[in-house]
Structure 1
Amino acid sequence: MIISKTPLRISFCGGGSDIPSFYRKHGGCVLSTSIDKYIYISSIHSFDRCLTKLRYSSMEDVENLSDIRHPVFREMLSMYNMPGFEFTSTSDIPAGTGLGSSSTFTVGLSNLLHAWRGEQPSKERLATDACKMEIEILGEPIGKQDQYAAAYGGLNFIEFNEDDTVDVTPLSLEKEQKALLNRRLMMLYLGGTRSASEILKKQSSNITQGQAENNQLRMCDIARNLRTDLEDGRLDALGEALDKSWRLKRTLSEGITNHEIDAVYKTVTELGAIGGKLLGAGGSGFMLFYAEEDVQNNIRKHVQDRMWMPFKFEESGSSIIFNDEGR
């Protein structure tokens, strides 16, 4: 048996600039962190070597890899020529809630398949393989930030260059500063799940023209300035940056926000949060807020009909946590 463990992520600023149609024209950048919520994928040889068994939100038992319905499983198992295995995927958080679960799954599966070959791929290899699978092979209208956040782990400034290369730079913060920053963040689950593809498809065509393009460029500037502010110890700049970015992001495409999201944002900021945003492409899922610790209890007291989810930053990225194949 081999098991991979791959973290989900929170994107603070710059999301959307990792979409190829934008970064190939302007370059892009994102400031994000991985968190201690994970997708686990375990695998063993099937008892019946003629069957490939998949256990995720659905169950599949197939004789031919080409018959697999799950697109990432189908393409990756075919690419690695690995029939006759049983795979089980479990997650700490529901898919489609804005934490990058689709790409996290792809990175974790890639790591797992490399392990079956006896390989230890670099973080860069895991990220680029996942990007190739999702964007080039499957044609998903998504960006690159989630794959890099999941593969590398940590609190990073990620730059997407016009030549398709990516630079990942950890933020230079002391351990105490990171812990304080973490404590000032609150994550609220609105409920619901959604596919990011439709929203991102519209956003991808919008952000290379007109006001949407200008707003995306401003969001990149906010991310760059936030990196400097945080490294200089100005932690409250995160709350301000979240607020500015959210006000810009909600203009990029229809479906990013709605009356419910706007009402929650208004309530929480009026109760003392400096800023916040909806995580992911939009529509539902998790919201993130930055608030001083002395106002957080009051916020939770007045917003009791939602689930507040505690979390911590993590720094490991995708890893193999169990492997007894070499025994």
Structure 2
Amino acid sequence: MSKPEPVFDFADHPDYSDFVQAAGSGRRQPMQGFDADYTDIVDYIVRCTHKIWEEKAIGLIYTHYAHNALVHTASGGTIYGRETVVRNTLQNQAIWGDLRAYADDVIWGGDEEQGYYSSHRHVNTATHTGYTEHGPPTGRKIFYWGIADCLIRRNLIVEEWLTHDGVTILRQMGYDPVVLAKRAVLPNKPHTHGELDRLPTGQQYPTFLDVPDAHQDPQAFVAAILQNLWNARLINMVREHYAPNHVAFVPDSRKLYGHGDYENFVITLLACFPDLAMNIDHQCVVGNEERGYRVATRCTFQGTHEGYGPYGAPTGRRISMIVISHHTVQSGKITKEWTVFNEFELLKQLYGQIGEGHAL
């Protein structure tokens, strides 16, 4: 039996036409139950996204999402069922008539038995030509990063986690995100002030993890750095394990260069949320020693707004958000990073009006 062709690798940054030309040319990896024209899991996620969002074949959601699919949004809510996915897609298409979702990378893991997991980083451009909850069309152009993580079995997305740079979208539309956040009405549900699980128990100090060799286990390398950096407050991880010319893309269209910028990003967020706790929910890695590794990490960040900073005076409110990061690891160091979370949803949690009958 001949060895399958390698999976499409975005280290080569293929053009979309490469995927179209390869369609139906045979499997590059085992994909039991998938439509015959998909060659591998990267091809699946790139082309089905293009079909649904750019070709506007919205009805393909019925053949590409499970009937009881779960979609976890940046706001912390969960959408249930593909009919809801269809409805939300139609509503978004009405807002952004010329949306283009350019695939920038797909980091994946899994197999056809357990299911494939994809972490799809995309750059989006569009013109605001439709009505939103905030007002009429502005005609303005937008450009923003997003990442979608999907669990896929037999051609169906059974679970999805979404996040994007929501603050950037609103600023480009001409809105003040804080003003809009204060108008928002939060879900009518209780909120907890329980202690966050960052420290083992009581007065003990956090666990300091040994950082493994990046050449031997790049996924564990990134996990240990994130745990030490965010939970143990070891900011020295930046200078020790990030390249001096490290570049990071973070929310609000910020592009950070080098150690100092990135240290300030971390310290500022921790100062705003001094009890911030990070939990790693999923990871996967692709690549090799010669070309470098790309690691996708999906986390949950929780914290209490008790410090001054870019989010204003402390509100004492608890926040929870999906944070998805893509790290490039080369020569034993992190050289590039894309960290995406929706700061507008964070602002809504800080400033939104509370549903009747509940208080924070």
TM-score surpassing 0.5? no
Give me the TM-score of the superposition, normalised by structure 1. Answer: 0.26
Q: Answer 1 or 2: which has greater helix percent.
A: 1
Structure possessing the higher relative contact order (Cα contacts under 8 Å, 6 or more residues apart): 1
Q: Tell which structure's C-alpha radius of gyration is larger.
A: 2
Give me the TM-score of the superposition, normalised by structure 2. Answer: 0.24
